[in-house]
Amino acid sequence: MATIDEVKAAEGSDEAPKYKVIGTRPIRHDGADKVTGRALYGADIKIKGMIFGAILRSPHAHANIKSIDTSKAEALPGVRAVATSADLPEPGDKIAELGEGAVVLNHLSSNNLARTKVLYKGHAVAAVAADNLHIAQEAASLIEVEYEVLPPVMDVLKAMSSDAPVLNPDVRTEEASTGEKGDKPTNVAKHIVFEKGDIEKGFADAKYVVEREFRTSTVHQGYIEPHVATVLWNNDGQITVWTPTQGTFSVRSQMAELLHVPLARVKVVPAEIGGGFGGKISVYLAPAAAVLSRKAGVPVQIVMDRADVLQATGPTPGSFIRIKMGVDADGRLTAAEAWMAYEAGGYPGSPIGAGAMCVFSCYDIPNGRVEGYDVCVNKPRTNAYRAPGATNAAFATETVVDELCEKLGMEPVEFRLLNASKEGTRRIDGVTYPRVGLVETLEAIKNSDHYKTPLTGKNQGRGIGSGFWFNAGLKSAVTVTVNTDGSVSLLEGSTDIGGSRTGIAMQFAEAMGLAAEDIKPAVVDTDSVGYTDVTGGSRVTYATGWAAYEAAQDLKRQIVARAAELWDVDPAQVSYEDGHVIGPDKSVCFKEIAMELSTTGEPLIARGVSNHNEPGGAFGTHLVDVEVDPDTGKVDILRYTAAQDCGTAIHPAYVEGQIQGGAVQGIGWGLNEEYWYDETGSMRNANFLDYRIPTCYDLPMIDAIIVEVPNPGHPYGVRGVGEVPIVPPPAALEAAIYDAVGVRLYELPMSPPRVLHELLKKES
Amino acid sequence: MAKKRIVTATINGREEEFLCQPRQTLLEILRNTLNLTGAKEGCSNGNCGACSVIIDGRAVNSCMILGVEAEGANIETIEGLAPGDGLDPLQQAFLENAALQCGICTPGYIMSAKAFLDENPNPTEEEIRFSMAGNLCRCTGYDKIVRAIQQAAETRAEQSASCAKETV
Amino acid sequence: MPRLFIPPLLRPYCEGQEEVVVEGATVLEAVLSLDRQHSGVMERLCPEGKLRAGMSVTVDQNVTPRGLAQKVSPESEIHFLPAIGGG
Amino acid sequence: MRDFEYEAPTSLADAVGLLAKSKGTARPLAGGTDLIDHVRTGRLVADLIVDLKKIPELMVLELNNAGLRLGAAVPCYKIYEHPGILEQYSAISDSSNIIGGMQVQNRASVGGNLANAGAAADSTPALIALNARVIIAGPSGTREVAVDQFCTGPGQNVLEPGEIIVELQFPPRPAHSGSHYRRFIPRNEMDIAVVGVGASVVLDASGENFVSARIGLGAVAAKPFYAQEASELLAGQPVNDETIQKAAAAARAVVHPITDMRGTQEFRTHVTGVLTERVIKKAVERARG
């Protein structure tokens, strides 16, 4: 595991390293707090006078709420407040823009506290605050809710049929590109179509055509820290929220919209966050906690348990996908067609758009058609999960590609190299790629020791898969204060889930010619830094890093101007280079000039903002060896290598970590993770015992190959890293299983019962 | 309502007394009564290991122990691990290997690893993975965690070798 | 002149064309130009001159945060696509 | 968590008295790795929890010529760290080493695992294979039950109100014997058995023939059970693939599995045969030394 620069250095390359700080591996700034247990995560926050909340959740997957009687709960000693949806303002029909996407407020509000219907088991119905958690929970159980139970709709295809029970009476099918809406209530919220070229001609030109149907199960981000929110609605109407979130400003907007208060009256203080992966953007607890706090007059903390997290937050959708692809005799793709239905959960909003744009994103295909549907079912309202929508799609496409390779008798790597998307390739949705690095990741895999080492054992197999994610830019802000001793405090609004404080500080340090350790980065609340979009979409190192770079430019300009004034020379004669301010007859290091300027003038404060939109999409290719137990269908991973184009790796250790962690989430999705529902729509595995995320004993070391194809759209060439690595694993595993034991799996997860079923079918 | 009990236990080397209802778990007592919030609640049923602490030399899930059961116990938590200055070899190794991303599983991981290395100072990768399977991490894919534990084992061996030399 | 790519379901309103050469220095001007060629398309693509919720504009290779106000060059490609969010 | 009282008696008589006298629902506590979770989630109700770990009889661990005595509250780690148990009663050592993670094994007890009467309990098939007897104390004295008669259904057992398991007694191991427990789980650790098989075999001096065998099956019926026909079929037969496969087929023929979040009926039925074969072979290997 080494970056290209490190390899060059090891090989004794003459080329001087391009950067001094970027590409090194400093200890993260928040490290000591996190290994000593001092870092304060969501549930570690204690506010003076705080009481504890509990949520009453629906036992039914689909029901009308006929009445709610809270009197017994209110009468229980120790209970301080009870809330229902009646305590939240009427949301009307407003659609709110929340940075990374639009939300129908009525749906968001009803998802926090159900209004007229419950749409999934675990849907929040009422909330209680009491002196301690035990009393709050007992009180919640005393709330009497009368339900009219309705038949649950759990299957995406059944939900689309015209006789399916309808979840949301206000939902009509919207044609994504024309805005036209259907005239009947339906579960199909959105319909998307992309077309390119002449698909009939494309298939007519094909020598081989493969068409397959795929299903994938609902899966969860599985962050180890459950959701928690602590809220004080102060006597003056100011609301403070302490919460672990991917976006403090997003929480602020959601609270302001849901509670009908001005933005400036809401302050969101980020706690350290114990994982998110897309699942900690939407609010689930803070609105109820706010209402309870207002009633009780003290801060209220509500914490989910694991069952709540799985049943009532935002997993990523299950899906049905049909893929048809054709190749000519030379192995060139001639046409591709996809029909995709994604489960939105209780309210509309699955990542079908991204799924439809990603489904053929790795290939240069002249003719294509993609059709996508966003479909409501009685499951929790889905939310983003690492490259949302892309993994489902890649599993389907890459499996069909593997079958085409078999028909062609072509090495899967060679097939991909022949058909790979590259600069200028036009996707089916019409957009062309800038400089991207899919080919480089394929070559990195082809040149890897892993690829060159053949498998020898029985029932062993090898598989390969590629994946894509767009990455994002969006808004970020950074403020920098130079202290009187020359040390630097850097304030940012991007909550740090995986070491981004350090990645941002390193870019600032690089720009200033300082060391990473000279900078003290801090993630601060919404009153203390400029607007910053969510930590998501693999945007933070790119966008907030760029804001830090801009702050450095601002600081350098100020230092140059003030040094010129101090030295009484023309500013044009002063420059800042490599950590020094240089005048006509002297050169002073940053620390010295900082001290001098601090004692002779105004405070040195700089700012940087960014809203750039050239995040440079990223590709990854994974290679996996498995051994399948032919008698039980169990899949063991023998070896795993993941190559990914990261543009420029700022902190290679954390880049590797993103690749390894994402790959392992993809492995879990591929092999064992699923929401297992009974016929009543009740999830039967809502715990970490039976919702089986990989343990360390299920895995080998994960070799991460960092490929660096610098992004021309960033000062240091950064591309986002975090999302892509979850995309290829299920497909790579499917190909490896087929290679090992000769059965194809068209449904996720490829759990032992499914693999064994196919093996037994093949035998008979 | 059941009466609160007075429980006496040694926590990180100091004798502590606390008041405890029978229904309070040790984790709740550590976090809410004693303000030792290093141990985290991730799953509440013994499957994630985020609440791991060491009792009488053995790693346990503090979410599945009643506070009243701790009477007379010797409890070690992440807060007591680092020496007065600097860090424990496990803490240092986690930092040097970037073995944490979000960090929520880290205190539990380190405490379990400590109990494990105390029993098995020179483990194979297989033994580390087997024994640490009760500690879930969702960020890292475990690669760097396993390497950190390997490195800590080496450092501990070096330290005890140099200790032994000094005693001689 | 910028090229505006017509989403498949909108093509019937544009005589089946996949892309239309338009005039204008911003996306909004481009859409107005399209609407002059194919009356009524704007009301579907961006009613009242606003981007519909859930939609985004890609100019050349990148989704623009500036929406309809994004400047376009004579060589630009303009695409209307579903808005996406990452994890 | 719902409110309850807690007592930690130091004598068996006191424990039985507390459990018998309790007006509400009294629950005994050993390692607590099931009980505390179940009380927290409301699956079980407790008005009184009686901690048994301070009672010497429940913490006994004694291995001698008379066999093995295993106190009901002895934690798993003491079992698999005991060299004599590892050598002579390997099956129960195997089980104890895979119940939950290390943290669970440091608390959980085999007695508690048995008392919960879970269909998929990892230790019960091993106890059946090793022919353990359950020593029970209650208000009307002490009694003994064969372990395969202990569970009566999912979560149900023969214990009367006020009764607790005191210890498990295992007969001494004959010469040329070996045992093994193995389960199938989707991951490599941390799961509940989808199929669990415990087997004990006694070979003749040549090591080429079965003298007797006992096979216990878990997770493939409403309760763990003794696979009588499969076990008896091996007695007197030569040790070879054919005999072992016959026993495996016989085991497969008597299961009544369900489909749930852990596995399908088809899977459990098939894998019962696969595991039975593998477990017998491992037990034979151990019997041969």
Interface of A with C in 351-370 (CB under 8 A): 351-354, 356-357
Q: Which of A36, A51, A501 to probe the B interface (max B CBs under 10 A)? A: A36
Give how far A661 is from chain B: nearest CA, Å.
4
**Could you give the 3-state DSSP secondary structure of residue A740?**
helix
B70 and B121, same domain (yes or no): no
Test A102 with C82 for CB contact under 8 angstroms. no
Any domain includes A161: no
- Name the interface residues of C facing A (CB cutoff 8 Å): 5, 7-10, 13, 18, 44-45, 47, 52-55, 58, 60-65, 77, 79-87
Test B47 with D36 for CB contact under 8 angstroms. no
Cβ-in-10-Å burial (0-12, 13-18, 19+) of C20 comes to buried
| pLDDT > 80? residue A508 | yes
Q: What is the CB neighbour count within 10 angstroms for residue A409? A: 7
Give me the sign of the Cα torsion angle A420, A422, A424, A427. positive
Q: Does B142 touch chain D (CB under 8 A)?
A: no
| pLDDT > 80? residue B21 | yes
> What's the total number of domains in chain A?
3
**Could you give the 3-state DSSP secondary structure of residue D142?**
strand
> What is the residue range of A640's domain?
434-469+615-764
D89 and D64, same domain (yes or no): yes
D43 and D81, same domain (yes or no): no
> What is the residue range of B9's domain?
5-80
A536 interaction partners in chain B (CB closer than 8 Å): none
Subunits in contact with chain B (3 or more CB pairs closer than 8 Å): A, D
- pLDDT, one tens digit per residue, over A393-422 is 999 999 999 999 999 999 999 999 999 999
Q: How confident is the model at residue A121 (pLDDT cuts 50, 70, 90)?
A: very high
D45 and D78, same domain (yes or no): no
Subunits in contact with chain D (3 or more CB pairs closer than 8 Å): A, B
The confidence score (pLDDT) of residue A15 equals 66
Q: How confident is the model at residue A100 (pLDDT cuts 50, 70, 90)?
A: low
Q: Among residues B30, B57, B80, which one ends one of the domains?
A: B80
Structure tokens at D237: 């037969």
**Spatial distance between the Cα atoms of A53 and A138, rounded to a whole number of angstroms:** 11
Q: Residue A52: name the closest of A78, A84, A17, A19 by CA.
A: A78
Q: Among residues B23, B49, B80, which one ends one of the domains?
A: B80
| pLDDT > 80? residue B115 | yes
Cβ-in-10-Å burial (0-12, 13-18, 19+) of A372 comes to buried
| Phi and psi at residue B134, to the nearest 5° | -85, 5
B116 interaction partners in chain A (CB closer than 8 Å): none
Q: How confident is the model at residue A13 (pLDDT cuts 50, 70, 90)?
A: low
Q: How confident is the model at residue A598 (pLDDT cuts 50, 70, 90)?
A: confident
Q: List Cα–Cα distances, A655 to A3, A18, A613, B135, B139, in angstroms.
A: 10, 18, 21, 23, 12
**Could you give the 3-state DSSP secondary structure of residue A96?**
strand
A32 interaction partners in chain B (CB closer than 8 Å): 87, 91, 95
Strands A635-645, A702-707: pairing is parallel
A315 interaction partners in chain C (CB closer than 8 Å): none
In sequence order, what are the residues at sequence separation of 6 or more whose Cβ sits closer than 8 angstroms to the Cβ of residue D272? D195, D197, D217, D220, D248, D251, D252, D255, D257
Any domain includes C87: no
CATH of the domain at A94: 3.90.1170.50
A623 and A527, same domain (yes or no): no
Q: Which of A361, A385, A431 to probe the C interface (max C CBs under 10 A)? A: A431
D263 interaction partners in chain A (CB closer than 8 Å): 752-753
Test A697 with D266 for CB contact under 8 angstroms. no
Q: How confident is the model at residue A600 (pLDDT cuts 50, 70, 90)?
A: confident
Q: How confident is the model at residue B168 (pLDDT cuts 50, 70, 90)?
A: low
Q: Among residues D150, D170, D190, which one ends one of the domains?
A: D170
B54 and B124, same domain (yes or no): no
A535 and A573, same domain (yes or no): yes
Read out DSSP for A645-696?
Answer: E-SS-SSHHHHHHHHHHHHHHHHHHHHT----B-TTS-BS--STTTS-PPPG
Q: Does A471 touch chain C (CB under 8 A)?
A: yes
Q: How confident is the model at residue B167 (pLDDT cuts 50, 70, 90)?
A: low
Q: Among residues D120, D142, D170, which one ends one of the domains?
A: D170
| Phi and psi at residue A317, to the nearest 5° | -70, 150
CATH of the domain at B71: 3.10.20.30
Any domain includes A169: no
D111 and D10, same domain (yes or no): no
Question: How high is the mean pLDDT of chain D?
Answer: 97
Test A221 with C87 for CB contact under 8 angstroms. yes
| pLDDT > 90? residue A158 | yes
CATH of the domain at A540: 3.30.365.10
Test C81 with A723 for CB contact under 8 angstroms. no
Strands A368-376, A333-345: pairing is parallel
Q: List Cα–Cα distances, B55 to B10, B77, B153, D223, in angstroms.
A: 10, 9, 21, 34
> What's the total number of domains in chain B?
2
Q: Residue A312: name the closest of A251, A383, A211 by CA.
A: A383
Give how far B162 is from chain D: nearest CA, Å.
30
Tell me if A658 sits within 8 A of D243, measured CB to CB: no
Any domain includes A101: yes
Q: What is the DSSP letter of A383?
A: -
CATH of the domain at D224: 3.30.390.50
In this complex, does chain B touch chain C, defined as having at least 3 beta-carbon pairs under 8 Å apart?
no
Test B65 with D32 for CB contact under 8 angstroms. yes
Subunits in contact with chain A (3 or more CB pairs closer than 8 Å): B, C, D
B99 and B125, same domain (yes or no): yes
Test D266 with A631 for CB contact under 8 angstroms. no
| pLDDT > 80? residue A9 | no
| pLDDT > 70? residue A99 | no
For C67, left (φ over 0), alpha (ψ -120 to 50), or beta?
A: left
Test A753 with D266 for CB contact under 8 angstroms. yes
Test B101 with A654 for CB contact under 8 angstroms. yes
D213 and D277, same domain (yes or no): yes
Test D49 with B65 for CB contact under 8 angstroms. no
Q: Does D144 touch chain A (CB under 8 A)?
A: no
Q: Does D120 touch chain A (CB under 8 A)?
A: no
- pLDDT, one tens digit per residue, over B130-161 is 999 999 999 999 999 999 999 999 999 999 99
> What's the total number of domains in chain C?
1
pTM comes to 0.97
Q: What is the CB neighbour count within 10 angstroms for residue C66? A: 13
Give how far D258 is from chain A: nearest CA, Å.
13
Test B60 with D51 for CB contact under 8 angstroms. no
> What's the total number of domains in chain D?
3
- With CA atoms as reference, the chain B residue closest to D78 would be B58
Interface of A with B in 292-321 (CB under 8 A): 303, 305-306
Strands A488-492, A519-523: pairing is parallel
- pLDDT, one tens digit per residue, over A429-462 is 999 999 999 999 999 999 999 999 999 999 999 9
> What is the residue range of C78's domain?
3-82
Tell me if A652 sits within 8 A of A753, measured CB to CB: no
The confidence score (pLDDT) of residue A17 equals 82
Structure tokens at A260: 């009908």
Q: How confident is the model at residue A98 (pLDDT cuts 50, 70, 90)?
A: confident
A113 and A232, same domain (yes or no): yes
| pLDDT > 60? residue D103 | yes
A135 and A245, same domain (yes or no): yes
- With CA atoms as reference, the chain A residue closest to C78 would be A431
| pLDDT > 60? residue D61 | yes
Can you tell me the mean pLDDT for A350-369? 98
Of the candidates A134, A684, A695, the beta carbon closest to that of D187 is on A695
Residue B19: beta bridge partners? B6
- With CA atoms as reference, the chain B residue closest to A664 would be B141
**Could you give the 3-state DSSP secondary structure of residue D243?**
helix
Instruction: Give percent of chain A with pLDDT exceeding 90.
Output: 95
CATH of the domain at B151: 1.10.150.120
Q: Does D103 touch chain B (CB under 8 A)?
A: yes
> What is the residue range of D188's domain?
177-287
Q: Listing from the earlier edge strand, what are the strands of the sheet with B5-11?
A: B14-20, B5-11, B74-76, B52-55, B58-61
| pLDDT > 80? residue D108 | yes
- pLDDT, one tens digit per residue, over A14-63 is 567 899 999 999 999 999 999 999 999 999 999 999 999 999 999 999 99
Give how far B41 is from chain D: nearest CA, Å.
13
- pLDDT, one tens digit per residue, over D205-255 is 999 999 999 999 999 999 999 999 999 999 999 999 999 999 999 999 999
Q: Which of A689, A762, A763 to probe the D interface (max D CBs under 10 A)? A: A689
Tell me if A366 sits within 8 A of A328, measured CB to CB: no
D160 and D61, same domain (yes or no): yes
- With CA atoms as reference, the chain A residue closest to C56 would be A101
In sequence order, what are the residues at sequence separation of 6 or more whose Cβ sits closer than 8 angstroms to the Cβ of residue C36? none
CATH of the domain at D98: 3.30.465.10
Q: Among residues B80, B115, B139, which one ends one of the domains?
A: B80
Q: Does A431 touch chain C (CB under 8 A)?
A: yes
D2 interaction partners in chain B (CB closer than 8 Å): 23
Q: Does B77 touch chain D (CB under 8 A)?
A: no
Structure tokens at D95: 């089980």
- With CA atoms as reference, the chain A residue closest to C41 would be A178
**Spatial distance between the Cα atoms of D58 and D131, rounded to a whole number of angstroms:** 19
**Spatial distance between the Cα atoms of C38 and A92, rounded to a whole number of angstroms:** 35
Q: Does A178 touch chain D (CB under 8 A)?
A: no
Test D107 with B49 for CB contact under 8 angstroms. no
User: SS3 for A1-33, per residue?
Assistant: CCCHHHHHHHCCCCCCCCCCCCCCCCCCCCHHH
Test B44 with A306 for CB contact under 8 angstroms. yes
| Phi and psi at residue A621, to the nearest 5° | -130, 130
Test A134 with D274 for CB contact under 8 angstroms. no
CA trace torsion A303, A307, A312, A316 (10° rounding): 120
A651 and A683, same domain (yes or no): yes
CATH of the domain at C53: 3.10.20.30
In this complex, does chain C touch chain D, defined as having at least 3 beta-carbon pairs under 8 Å apart?
no
**Spatial distance between the Cα atoms of D213 and D232, rounded to a whole number of angstroms:** 7
| pLDDT > 70? residue A355 | yes
Q: Listing from the earlier edge strand, what are the strands of the sheet with C3-5?
A: C19-21, C3-5, C77-82, C55-59, C62-63
| pLDDT > 80? residue A213 | yes
D240 and D274, same domain (yes or no): yes
Q: Does A475 touch chain C (CB under 8 A)?
A: yes
| pLDDT > 80? residue A6 | no
